[in-house]
Amino acid sequence: MTEGENPPALLRVLNGERLDPPPIWIMRQAGRYLPEYRELRTRAKSFLDFCYSPALATEAVMQPLRRFPLDAAILFSDILVVPDALGQKVWFVEGEGPRLDPLISQAEWKLGDPGKAIQRLAPVYEAVERIKGGLPDGVALIGFAGSPWTVATYMLQGRGGDKDEARRAVYQRPADIVALLNLLVETTAQHLAAQVKAGADCLQIFESWAEGLPPIVFQTVVIEPTRKLIHRLRELGVTVPVIGFPRGAGAQIAAYANETGVNALGVDTQTPAEYAFEVAPDGMALQGNLDPQTLVVGGDALERAVRDVLIAFKSSPHIFNLGHGITPQATPENVAHLVRVVKGG
C-alpha cells in the first residue's frame, strides 16, 4: 500500500472502524472444496512440496479470489512448516491429516535452530512477494502461523485429534515444555516478521488447540507464549495488526483478548458474539463466526445463519468469517451465496 491510497476495508476494521457491510474472508478459503484446487494439488508430489512451491502456492491463493469478491487473501502455507523447518519429520497422510515423529516418545528432545529454520522457509516468503504483486486493489494480504502451543501439541503428540499426551507432558516435563514453547516463540516471531517484510498487511495466529485447558495451564501455554510472541514481533519492528484466534478457549477468550497484545479477536462458532463483545477491550475488532456446516447445507438455512451473524456483531468493528475453517464438503455455490448476502445482494 502506498501513502495516500484508501486502505483495504479489512485494515480499516482492524484499526477500529465499523463498516457496513463488513469485510469478509473465509478461513481455509483456498482448498479442497474448490475443484480447481484439487486439480492444482495433483501437480505436487506431497502437500509440503506444494507449500514450498511459490508458483503453486500463489496460484492456490488466487483461485478463490477469481470466484468471489473477498476482501482478503491468506498466504497458502501450513502451520506445520515451522516444525518441518526446525528439522522434525512432518508428512501428510491422504484423508487423515498430518503426522510427525512425536517428541513424546523421545527421552531427549533435540530442538532446532530458529535462524536455520527461517532460511529453509525462504520459498514461503517468495510466495508472499509473488502474491502481493498479483493482488487486486483493496484486497489485504494476511500472513499467518500457528501459535506456539498449537504447533507444540503436534510436535509432542505427532498428530491431531485429542491432545491428552501433550497435556500430560505439561505436568510431567514442565522445563522441557517451556524450552519448546520459547523456541517456537522465537522461530514464529521471525517467521511472521519475514512474511510482513515480504508484503503481508496483517497477521493471524491460529491457536487451534486452546480447548480443554485449566486456567493456570492456559496462562502458561497459551497466554504467556502469545504475549511473548507479539512482544518479540514488535521488537523486530513489525507494526501491522495481529488477529488472534483461540479456538475452543471458551470463557478464557477474556484473558486472551486482554493479556496477549492481539489487536483483533477471532471468535469461534460456539462463542456468543455478545460475550466476545463484552469481554474484549473497547473497540477491538471481532472476526467470525458463521458455522462452517451452513456452507455444506446452503439455501435458506445458510442465509438465515449469515443474517444472524451480521446482527450479532453489529456493535463492534466486525470482520465476517467462519467460526472455523471451511470443510471440503462445502460447495463453491454456497460460498458465492454467502458473499452475496454479506455484501447486501
Contact residues: ligand CP3, CB under 6 A: 27-32, 41, 47, 74, 76-80, 92, 97-98, 144, 160, 206, 208, 325
Give the whole-angstrom CA distance, residue 65 versus residue 219. 38
> 3-class SS at 337?
helix
CA-based diameter of the chain, in Å?
A: 59
Give the whole-angstrom CA distance, residue 289 versus residue 324. 7
Q: Which residue has the cell 483493496?
A: 138
Pairing of strands 90-93, 97-100: antiparallel
Q: Which of 12, 18, 28, 67 is labelled catalytic?
A: 28
> Shortest approach of ligand CP3 to residue 29 CB, angstroms?
5
**Amino acid identity at 95:** G
Whose Cβ is closer to ligand CP3: residue 60's or residue 169's?
Answer: 60
Q: Is 201 a catalytic residue?
A: no
State the SS3 of 163-176: CHHHHHHHHHCHHH
Whose Cβ is closer to ligand CP3: residue 97's or residue 281's?
Answer: 97
> Shortest approach of ligand CP3 to residue 310 CB, angstroms?
22
Whose Cβ is closer to ligand CP3: residue 22's or residue 292's?
Answer: 292
Q: Is 78 a catalytic residue?
A: yes
Q: Which of 33, 125, 154, 256 is labelled catalytic?
A: 154
> Shortest approach of ligand CP3 to residue 24 CB, angstroms?
14
Q: Which of 32, 67, 173, 232 is labelled catalytic?
A: 32
Q: Which of 41, 120, 232, 340 is labelled catalytic?
A: 41
Whose Cβ is closer to ligand CP3: residue 97's or residue 272's?
Answer: 97
- Cβ atoms within 10 Å, residue 133: 9
Which residue number places its CB atom closest to ligand CP3? 208
Burial (0-12, 13-18, 19+ Cβ within 10 Å), 262: buried
Give the whole-angstrom CA distance, residue 243 versus residue 310. 19
Look at residues 224, 262, 221 and name the one whose alpha carbon lies nearest to residue 245.
262
- Cβ atoms within 10 Å, residue 261: 15
> Shortest approach of ligand CP3 to residue 151 CB, angstroms?
9
Q: Is 32 a catalytic residue?
A: yes
**Amino acid identity at 288:** G
Q: Is 234 a catalytic residue?
A: no
Whose Cβ is closer to ligand CP3: residue 218's or residue 277's?
Answer: 218
Q: Is 41 a catalytic residue?
A: yes
For the annotated catalytic residues, the residue numbers are: 28, 32, 41, 78, 154
